């Protein structure tokens, strides 16, 4: 808006200086130019949309030639059952096609996964974890805020993992809500599902099965549950997460992995 006013003022000044008609205007500022008015309306509506959605007028954009894709997993991971509308969720049916597209897109050379999740559906979380672990491209995860419950396997599924100093990860046994029919059979099913989580985490991180189970079944750490809440450097000390760091360190590491992957592929071709 200010630019249009400034252009209008400078146009008047030029007209008066050269003895021309001060009301003569060129370009999009001309009163009889409907295209200029429509462009101004589109610009204004786009500005309002940014304010409504993001709370600010200027939003930085990723470069078109960026070789890194950022995947965010926030809120609760929604699986086979749809959660109430007031819950902030990450739907696994949205993530799976994205991960497939990332693998197929030759312009994407690395993936940064940002987590701030309370957990959610176990099978959906394991499906996402397995897909991330099977990607042929370098992957780095960063836990911000929290990577709780089934968010733990997703965090360790990447080639390298970071956690912020103030971020937390809650490790607890698999739980089931709702009506349970056939208690012995259900317990056996949950026990096998829990083994799947334990095996995946220990296979994709530096924590031993014994230490992970000790954290999972610890008593007295959580108010209403058994398990452990690890914060920042504790997750790294246990070998669950590779390193404490933030966005800068995560991107630096990912770029290093991308270069190593390039050298590896060039060596195979030669």
Cβ count near 52 (within 10 Å): 8
DSSP-derived letter for residue 17 is H
Buried b (16+ CB within 10 A) or exposed e, 166-175: ebbbbbbebe
Q: Which of 69, 129, 161, 172 is catalytic?
A: 172
- For CA atoms 198, 203, 206, 211, the dihedral sign is positive
The DSSP line for 128-186 is: HHHHHHT-SS-EEEEEEEEE-TTHHHHHHTSSEEEE-TT-EEEE------S---SHHHH
- Residue 94 is a catalytic residue: no
- Residue 10 is a catalytic residue: no
Q: Which of 149, 161, 205, 236 is catalytic?
A: 149
Largest CA distance in the chain: 96
Please identify every residue annotated as catalytic. 149, 172
């Amino acid at each position: 808006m200010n630019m249009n006013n400034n252009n209008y003022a400078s146009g008047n000044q030029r007209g008066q200086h050269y003895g021309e008609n001060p009301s003569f205007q060129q370009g999009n500022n001309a009163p009889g130019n409907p295209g200029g008015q429509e462009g101004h309306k589109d610009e204004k509506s786009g500005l309002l949309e940014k304010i409504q959605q993001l709370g600010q007028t200027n939003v930085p954009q990723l470069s078109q030639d960026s070789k890194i894709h950022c995947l965010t997993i926030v809120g609760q991971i929604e699986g086979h059952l749809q959660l109430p509308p007031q819950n902030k969720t990450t739907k696994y049916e949205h993530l799976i096609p994205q991960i497939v597209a990332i693998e197929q897109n030759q312009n994407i050379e690395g993936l940064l996964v940002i987590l701030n999740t309370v957990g959610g559906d176990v099978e959906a979380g394991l499906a996402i974890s397995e897909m991330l672990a099977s990607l042929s491209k370098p992957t780095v995860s960063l836990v911000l805020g929290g990577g709780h419950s089934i968010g733990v396997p997703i965090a360790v599924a990447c080639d390298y993992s970071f956690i912020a100093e103030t971020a937390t990860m809650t490790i607890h046994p698999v739980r089931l809500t709702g009506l349970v029919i056939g208690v012995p059979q259900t317990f056996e099913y949950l026990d096998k599902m829990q083994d799947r989580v334990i095996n995946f985490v220990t296979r994709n991180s530096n924590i031993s099965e014994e230490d992970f189970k000790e954290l999972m079944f610890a008593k007295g750490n959580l108010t209403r549950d058994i398990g452990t809440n690890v914060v920042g450097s504790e997750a790294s000390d246990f070998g669950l997460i590779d390193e404490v760091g933030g966005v800068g360190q995560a991107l630096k590491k990912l770029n290093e992995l991308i270069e190593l992957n390039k050298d590896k592929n060039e060596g195979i071709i030669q």
